[in-house]
Structure 1
Amino acid sequence: MAQVLFALAVVFAGAFAFLNGFRDASASVALAVRTRALTPTVAVLLAGFFNFIGAGLSAALALAVSRTWVQLPSGENGLAILVAGLVSAVLWGLYTWWRGIPSSSTHALVGGLAGAGVASVAVGGNAVGGVDTSLLVQVVLPLLLSPVLAFAGAYLLVWPAIWAARYTPPNVVNGRSRGAQSVAAGAVAFAHGLQDGQRTSAVLILALLASGLSGGGEMPVWVALFTAILLTAGTLAGGWRISYTIGYRLIRTDPLRGSVAQLLSSAMLLVGAIGLHLPLSTTHTVTSAVLGSGSNQRFPTTNRRVVIRVLAFWVATPLATAAAAFVLALALSPLTQP
């Protein structure tokens, strides 16, 4: 049974990576397509290329993440927890994509692992170690801090951007802003690969550790390639439902404000991934920066009903996946009992 559970963990880790790229491609390309900085085809190809590079390089960080993230029980118990957490995150990702809601894949996964861990304890199994710290560091703090910082930073940066362009003809400002957006779209995609690639690689390392197939001392090449290829494939497939929400439904924006939002988002994500090793949600950061830059206008631009719905889904994500994983882990528990 351990081999079957390991195979399921790999399959659903691949589905998680594909869906992650499929949904979060919108964070990289939505604004660039909205302001006509890039065509949809070029934007997706650009995002796919830089996602692959970022995910490939993230393998160097994944070992550290796997050691400091959560500690799964060994054997079938740990693999069942991982499968339940992955399945719940995938199902929630599909539901939020269908609703056109940008939400965090990382928050969904951590919530799923927490719920599955509680179910394991409820049936007499082992607990998931470090899950309380992961919920605090990877869900609660980023949910509270990164959207606020991204919104406030983008809102404030619009003023110096407008001041610098005050004597420049509007068509020149728009052209330069679209050029900056093209660069920023690639940077956001690269940062997304770094941030989310290491999460999927860490999941696979946890599966290898739980099954006894690896000691966790080195990164298998197939794990890095598996993650990068599926994340890129999902990006190339494109999740246009969420792109439409970010680019058109949330707020009205222009090339200058779009470039401010994406440049700030890419800077925050890169500093978080490389400098601080802090897991920031690409979706939360970009969406909040879009709202911040677009709100700094002299007329109402925000669709408040959509914003409230998005915020509600952000709060509900770890709770919903925890509940789903709890049920799934209970269903799997008979398979892991001696």
Structure 2
Amino acid sequence: MDMILILTILVVVFALAFDFINGFHDTANAIATSVSTRALKPRTAILMAAAMNFVGALTFTGVAKTITKDIVDPFLLENGSLVILAALVSAIIWNLVTWYFGIPSSSSHALIGSIAGAAIAAAGFGILNYSGFIKIIQALILSPVIALVGGFIVMTILRALLKNRNLFKANKRIRYMQIGTAAIQSFTHGTNDAQKAMGIITMALIAAELQTSDDIQLWVRIAAATSMGIGTSIGGYKIIKTVGGKIMKIRPIHGIAADLNSAAIIFGATLLHLPVSTTHVISSSIMGVGSAQRLKGVKWGVAQTIVLTWVITMPISAVVAAIVYKTLALFL
């Protein structure tokens, strides 16, 4: 069998593995607040999230096309299949390491940093599509800032609306509403995160000259959506614990404010065809909500650890991907 075809098959397998890992790594964020407030039992929340992620993943393709062509041009990339395989191996390693330690790191940062690092190792800095790459970086940087401010605003509005109501009774009603907001958030997660693997597979198909456009084939969409859905059904309890309890003590009113805010931002990014880190957005929303409630109520030490992980993810992933590429190139 031709080596390029073998590499392309490996890319598809590793891309689906990345989506699978992304499912239990990142989807935990989408349901963390509803589980921590006991609006949903963990298993019920995970199964619901799996179904909604699957539906969301099949609905849009704009983000996938951005991943396909805006970091590097797959039509110009030599050894493209090997570059993409190295990027996937690097992103998977980082996701597994951060999952093991229960750190809500960004799969998006890991994947994008890995693609850039492997491509630079293969063809130098000139291979990057700087206009598209900078646009993606801007979205990744701005989205958590917007989420932080938005969480603060949404929580402030909710507090004003519920000012003269019995907070215990209000929280009881809101807990039921969280089922809906958790479902919406899981859907928006699927519309953005699952598309990243679709974009990677499409890059590999173009690099192997198996397709000539950036259209996302139906089998790619179904395979990526299914992989993420299965991964979600397994769940990531360590990350649920970090996001749902270690940042701040979450009440139902906090959960619904964070869910609505982060779902709106993620879905807005999807409509703009921009990949964002769902981890960043959700964690930042919780921090914003906590700040509106009581500034000292946010455990800023934990938040600082999360932010530090966000900062180092992309450069570390890029370096790891470059090393993996050079290692694979020696043998392949």
TM-score tier after normalising by the smaller chain length? over 0.9
Query: How far did 1:22 drift?
Result: 0.9
Aligned pairs for 1:242-253 within 5 A: 242-253=239-250
Is 1:36 aligned to 2:38, yes or no?
Answer: yes
Aligned pairs for 1:1-338 within 5 A: 1-59=3-61, 62-63=64-65, 65-72=67-74, 77-121=79-123, 128-130=127-129, 132-139=130-137, 141-216=138-213, 218-274=215-271, 276-298=272-294, 300-335=296-331
Q: What's the secondary structure of 1:102's corresponding residue?
A: coil
Q: Which amino acid aligns with 2:267?
A: L
Q: Which amino acid aligns with 2:256?
A: S
- TM norm structure 1: 0.92
Provide the rounded CA distance (Å) in 2 between the counterparts of 1:245 and 1:325: 27
Residues 172-211 of structure 1: CA deviation (Å, up to 9, x unaligned): 2112221232111111111111101221111111111111
Provide the rounded CA distance (Å) in 1 between the counterparts of 2:10 and 2:245: 38
Question: Contact (CA 8 Å) 1:72, 1:129: kept in 2 or not?
Answer: no
Q: Which amino acid aligns with 1:29?
A: I
Q: Which amino acid aligns with 1:37?
A: A
Query: How far did 1:65 drift?
Result: 4.8
Cα 1:298–1:55, aligned 2, differ >3 Å: closer, same or farther?
Answer: closer
Question: Contact (CA 8 Å) 2:53, 2:187: kept in 1 or not?
Answer: yes
Question: Contact (CA 8 Å) 1:63, 1:216: kept in 2 or not?
Answer: no
Question: Contact (CA 8 Å) 1:265, 1:286: kept in 2 or not?
Answer: yes
Cα 1:226–1:270, aligned 2, differ >3 Å: closer, same or farther?
Answer: same
The number of equivalent residue pairs is: 330
Query: How far did 1:231 drift?
Result: 0.5
Instruction: Could you list the structure 1 runs, at least 4 aligned residues long, displaced by more than 4 angstroms after superposition.
Output: 73-76
Question: Contact (CA 8 Å) 1:18, 1:230: kept in 2 or not?
Answer: yes
The CA RMSD over aligned residues, in Å, is 2.0
Gaps of 5+ in 1: none
- TM norm structure 2: 0.93
Question: Contact (CA 8 Å) 2:188, 2:267: kept in 1 or not?
Answer: yes
Question: Contact (CA 8 Å) 1:115, 1:321: kept in 2 or not?
Answer: yes
Provide the rounded CA distance (Å) in 1 between the counterparts of 2:292 and 2:326: 49
Q: What's the secondary structure of 2:193's corresponding residue?
A: helix
Percent identity over the alignment?
35
Question: Contact (CA 8 Å) 1:76, 1:211: kept in 2 or not?
Answer: no
Q: Which amino acid aligns with 1:321?
A: S
Q: What's the secondary structure of 2:293's corresponding residue?
A: coil
Question: Contact (CA 8 Å) 1:75, 1:211: kept in 2 or not?
Answer: no
Gaps of 5+ in 2: none
Provide the rounded CA distance (Å) in 1 between the counterparts of 2:36 and 2:42: 9
